[in-house]
Every structure is written in C-alpha cells, then in structure tokens.
Structure 1
Amino acid sequence: MASNNKLKLKLLIEKKSQKVLFAETGKDVVDFLFSLLAMPIGTVIKLITKESMTGCLGATYGSLEQLDNTFLLSNQTKSHLLNPTTSTAVSTNSLLLSASDDASSGGKINKYYTCPGNGSSLEFHNCVTDAYGAACLVCLKGMIKQVEFVARPTVNREEDKGERGFVKGVVTYTVMDDLSVMPMSTISSITLFNRFGIKDLSTLQEKTVGLGLPEGLELLKASLQSNNVLTDVFLTKEEVRA
C-alpha cells in the first residue's frame, strides 16, 4: 500500500519514558481495529503465523462493550462483533481484507459445482461441492456444473449518509496504547493527562504515523503479545528526541 494511501494516527508520546500515551484518529482506524474482532481465529493465525494468543485484543473487545450505541452506524450492532460466527465478515475497508481472503482460501478463488440436472423442475438435488467431478449423493453423477456462490453483504450502506464500516465518521476517537477505544473529548483528554500524571506539556511530543498493510499485520501480531501495541509498532528509542 502506498504511503499516501495509509490511514493516519496522531500519537501523543511521553518523551522521557518513550511511550505512546494515546493516539488521536478517525473512523477508518477504529473500523480497522473493530474488524479484527470479526476475523476468525484460524485466519488470524495464518496471517501472523503461529504466535502465542496473548495480548490486548481483550481491551479492544471491552471498549466496544462500553461504547455507547449512539456512536455505531444505524445498521450495526455490537452482538455480531462481540459474538462473531465463522461467517462474520471483515469490514470492507479493513487493511487486512485481501490478506484475509488469501489466507482463508490459500490464494485461490473457490469454485462450486453441482450435478448437470440439478436445478431443473424434474430433478433437484441439494448437493454442492468444491471438488470438480465429485459424485452427487442422490444421482451419483459427477458434479461438473459450476454454480455461483452469492455471499451475504459484508457491510450494508448507512441509509442516510452512505457510510460503511462500524462507527460514525463525525467523531474523533482516542486509541490507547493497549488498543482500547473511546470517543475523544476535552474532558476525556484532561482525565487522561491526570491519569498519566502529566503536569508539563513540554514533556509530550506529537507524531503522525501511517497505518498500511505492513503496519496492520504488525499491529495484529503485537495485539496478541503485548499491552503496549502502539509503542511497540510505531515507536523506537531512536525516533523520540528530546
């Protein structure tokens, strides 16, 4: 993904500890984070290889539980993200969508077949296979007639604004280092400064970073291993200067 097409996060860094306190970002990044909850675990393992399933995706899960429904698009509910099934699709704007498809299908597009007579008024068999020529369980004929698989829509269009994804785009969001998410406000920012014991704003540094496919994969991997994901993915000691 070209750098100019990357999603953007504005990091707030505490220079002395060289740690990301939190990030300011928009709908696109939050949609990406919430889409991670909808990814089947098998796909996640294929994307990042066999890594230990530890880290802070639970914090993202918990923040979605706490997020008020008013911030969700009208066609979205928490239940399909908090309790995903294997058929739950990744957000259409997810950075990992194409990589997820490749991992799930082994890099190829599946084709489906039925027996030659299937679908006629005189002969209807409920047998479908992805193995060309496999025998129909009813008529025993080779299933060689290709049929089209129609998947359900991954994300419906927001009726009044045409938005896609999970959350509304009129809000700026705070993403913590452990990937928990909340709507940003002046009060919430002051609360966070008090929480981190920030008295002198000169100790803080802003840094805008891009989130593309390489960073997305690193973020997914780090989220299963660490509670300091933004720091681990976007920050090194050499990048923070007094």
Structure 2
Amino acid sequence: MAEKKAGLNEDLENVITLKASVDRGSNKVIFVESDGDFIDVLFSFLTMPMGRIVRLAEDSVPVEIGCMRNLYQSIKKFDVHNFRSIACKLMLLLPCNSAYLQCKNLKLKFDKDWPTRYFKCCQRCFFSYYTSVICSSCGSSISGEIPVDNTQVGGVFVKGRPRLIITDDLQVISPVSATSICLFSKLGVTDSKTTEESTFNMGVQEALNLLMHSFVSKTPLTEILLKNEPIPSLGDVHSCQGISIDSQMDGDTINEEEKNISLKLVVSKSKKIVCYAEAQEDFVNLLCSFLTLPLGFILEKMRNVSWKGCLGQLYKSVEDLDELKSNFHKELLVNPKLAPGFRYENTLLGIEETSFYYVDKKLTTDKSCIPDNASAESVKLNVVDPKSHEDKDKSAQGFLKGPATFTVTDNLVVRPLSLILEMSVLQELKVPFTDIEDHIVHMGKREALLLLVASFIGDSALTNTFIRELREPKQEQ
C-alpha cells in the first residue's frame, strides 16, 4: 500500500486521510473513499463567492477562470473614490459567504485568515459587518459583537460519518447505490491486477489545488494526488458560443420594456467581435455583483452548458444525495443565497439574500432553531446596508458612485472611461478605425445570465453574449 505523508509544515490535525483506488496501468485515480469531513469540504466549494475564490487563487494557485480574474483585478485597481463607500470595495474583493456559520466548522478552512464578524446595536434593531456604524432606528452605535451559533451535531452538510465514494470527476456516490464492479466498468477499468489502494493526506493547500483544478479539468483528483500537473486555463470559446449557451441555459426571458441596462459596443465589422464597450455604472455594478455570487448559483445557471471543468458533477451529486443532514443544508448548496447586504438592487440575476435570526443570543440562518413560541419576523435581524454607509444619496444603487462612464474590454478589463485603453485594444486586435462600428444594446435577465456564464467559461464575454444579436438582421418596421 502506498502512502503520501502530509508536508513537513502541515499540522496533522488539519489534514484529512483519503483512501484511493488507483489504476497504476493508466496512473489514474479511479475513486476516493472518505468520510463526511472530506465531503463537507467538497460541498463547501458551492457556497464560496467568486470574489473569494479568485482571491484564494491569487494568493496560492493561479488559475484563469474565464474573465473573472480580469474583473477582480480591475476592481482591485479602482480608486476607492469610485465606490459609494469604503466598504463597497472590500465587499467585492472579499465577499462574505452566506453559509459562513456552517463553513467555519469545516475541518479544512480556506478562510481562516479572513473571519466574518457581526455586530449589533444595543436594541438589536440592526446588525452590521462593521463597527462604529450608527443604527438608523435607535440611534445607538452598532458595536456589540454577536456570538455565532456553534452548535454542531454530526457533520457540516452530511449527516453522521458516512463513507462515500468520490470519482475522479467529483461525482459523490453512496456505496449502497453502486457496486464496485459496476463502478470499475463505468470508469473504464477492466483489469483488477493494475489497481491498488493508496492512502493520501489532504491539507488545506491540497484541497485548494483541487478546487482550482476542478474549474479546468475532468480529472482533478488524479492531477492533485498523483501528478500535480500545471493548471490549464479555461481558455476562450468560439465567438459563436453565445448561440450555444443561449440555447442550453435555463432561465426565463423577460419583456422588452424590462431591459433597463444599455451600453455601447464597439464592434469589428470584419472579425465580428466586440472590441470593447462604453457603459454607465449600472452595467459595471452588474459585473461587480458577479464577484459576490456563490459558485453553486453560477453552476445552477449553467447546468446544461458544456465546459472544461467538472464542478457541475459535484453540484448534481448534492441534488441526488440522500446523506445530507436536512433540506435546509441541501438548499444551502443547490440554491445558495447572498450574504445579507450584498445584493445588487437591480435584480436581473434573480438571486436572493439569506436571512439571519437572533436566537438564544446567537446568530443563526436555520429557521428550525427558532422556538415554537416565536415568529421568524420577531427574531429576524436586518442588516445595515454596507454599500450606503458614507453615501448620502438615498436613491443610489449598487457599489459604484454615479453618474460615471467606463470602458469595458471583451475579456472584462474595466476602467473609468479611457481612450488610451480603447486605442490599445484596437491595436492589439489589429482592428483599424475604418473597421469599427457602434451598436447600442439593451440588457434584461436573459442577457445578464448569458453574460454571467460567458464571463465564467471564456475570455470573450461581450462577444459571446451579444454577437448573435448583432448578427441577426433587424426587423423592418
């Protein structure tokens, strides 16, 4: 039996032991067998906001997740005066996980250096992520830290300590539902003489590497446990991909009059690509909100879209698995919500905020913890909108000050309106001034979801979202 030890600096209390069936003939992991600790870590991936994932990738494992890194870097470079409040920039670069109360109990913690803290006023009117905020209801300072609910029975998301099977492409299967022979055949293993059992210790860094490889590979366990190959990029998709995405995505269309975001696209007539866009703060606010979205929400929107990664298999496993603790815990994973206060007021993406309740002097998101003699509304805590702490404009929305105009490239590099950037883009693309034309496009829910998916799976987000609309001939009036 082979065994891989944890690194010299790895505390053995912070590792999870995995037993793996390895095909030495092809040097591949057939499947991993583990208890609930590892399954909980895998499932926690679905709750993580994109801004935190990109931040973790920057700090340890560089990976290009479509255009998300460009978007993140653009927000990072913005002057703080571009935002409605100082908190807005931090909300995008380090967004809160709405399932933090559960994920803080994971054996492997990715965010241990960035804990989320909650504060309330003395009358318990509102709570805030920041101190020294004045409560608009009672006028007192919001400064008392709220203890979180540390009651933990069994696992974080899965009940008890089940032994589950995880395939190389992150399908989580109950041993009861799949015999070993069927599983081996399904995974292409025909000769049992080439298989052997190996033991691996997985720490925080290995789990983080696994997450990053899962964005761009169908065999992340093999790559992490056996090969440690360089991480590939999601890469670009064909310029017609928008048509494919549109035909496969789930999501309702909306009425034309509800398309309330407009932007100007500068398009190459010969290459049929979007070179860049000029847009107001409402469009860039929508882009900013992508960083606050939990991964599970994005995967739900692209369940029928083909791409290089295998996280969709993990998402589907949650839907099909019976070993979860409750329907509440399943909803945290397959229908994750935003942390309170993080919702962009323009609701094109259709995501909701979670609700926090103050029960027995502790914070919880689980309604089942509310006593029978109390209503949910009586113990619900409202959040002080962190986006508006320093903004006196009560009609303002989103994270950015307005009015403002921005230049946005096809791969989502965003800057305050910059002719220098626009000229450099045209030079890089080798597009002469005589080959460009302007198009005004209008966005609703369909386009917003297309843009989200295009931003996630490729590096031509604007082209893959709008190119079909630009190619279609306009109807005569």
TM-score, with length taken from structure 1:
0.63
1:192 paired residue number:
425
- Flag the structure with higher helix content: 2
| Alignment partner of 1:234 out of 442, 459, 466 | 466
Structure-1 separation of matches of 2:363 and 2:342? 25
2:351 maps to 1:100? yes
Q: Structure 2 vs 1, CA of residues 178 and 209 (structure 1 numbering), >3 Å: closer, same or farther? A: same
2:403 paired residue number:
170
2:460 maps to 1:223? no
2:271 paired residue number:
17
Shift of 1:223: 1.4
Q: Structure 2 vs 1, CA of residues 111 and 40 (structure 1 numbering), >3 Å: closer, same or farther? A: closer
2:341 and 2:384 in contact (8 A); partners too:
no
Report the identity percentage: 26
| Alignment partner of 1:90 out of 339, 343, 347 | 343
1:40 and 1:86 in contact (8 A); partners too:
no
Shift of 1:12: 0.7
1:81 paired residue number:
none
Shift of 1:160: 4.1
Structure-2 separation of matches of 1:37 and 1:93? 15
Structure-2 separation of matches of 1:127 and 1:21? 48
* Structure 1, unpaired ranges of 5+: 56-84, 115-123, 137-141
Structure-2 separation of matches of 1:147 and 1:189? 52
1:95 and 1:213 in contact (8 A); partners too:
yes
Shift of 1:32: 0.4
> Structure 1 residues 174-183 or 46-55, which shifts more?
46-55
Structure-2 separation of matches of 1:33 and 1:174? 13
1:18 and 1:240 in contact (8 A); partners too:
no
2:2 maps to 1:2? no
* Structure 2, unpaired ranges of 5+: 1-253, 310-337
1:32 and 1:94 in contact (8 A); partners too:
no
Q: CA RMSD in A?
A: 3.4
Alpha-carbon displacement from aligned partner over 1:72-127 (angstroms, at most 9, x marks no partner): xxxxxxxxxxxxx955623222421xx212xx77xxxx79796xxxxxxxxx6759
Structure-1 separation of matches of 2:429 and 2:363? 60
Alpha-carbon displacement from aligned partner over 1:111-147 (angstroms, at most 9, x marks no partner): 9796xxxxxxxxx67597513xx7x8xxxxx634213
Q: Structure 2 vs 1, CA of residues 164 and 190 (structure 1 numbering), >3 Å: closer, same or farther? A: same
Structure-2 separation of matches of 1:213 and 1:169? 22
> Structure 1 residues 29-38 or 189-198, which shifts more?
189-198
Structure-2 separation of matches of 1:238 and 1:178? 20
Alpha-carbon displacement from aligned partner over 1:140-185 (angstroms, at most 9, x marks no partner): xx63421321231443265344433112223211111112211113
> Structure 1 residues 186-195 or 170-179, which shifts more?
186-195
1:73 paired residue number:
none
Q: Structure 2 vs 1, CA of residues 204 and 50 (structure 1 numbering), >3 Å: closer, same or farther? A: same
2:288 paired residue number:
34
Structure-1 separation of matches of 2:426 and 2:400? 25
Structure-1 separation of matches of 2:455 and 2:292? 15
2:357 and 2:381 in contact (8 A); partners too:
no
Letter in 1 for 2:381: V
Q: Structure 2 vs 1, CA of residues 39 and 151 (structure 1 numbering), >3 Å: closer, same or farther? A: farther
1:174 and 1:184 in contact (8 A); partners too:
yes
2:383 maps to 1:152? yes
1:158 and 1:164 in contact (8 A); partners too:
no
1:80 paired residue number:
none
Structure-1 separation of matches of 2:421 and 2:361? 60
Letter in 1 for 2:286: F
1:10 and 1:23 in contact (8 A); partners too:
yes
1:91 and 1:165 in contact (8 A); partners too:
yes
Structure-1 separation of matches of 2:356 and 2:288? 30
3-state SS of paired residue (2:286): helix
Letter in 1 for 2:375: Q
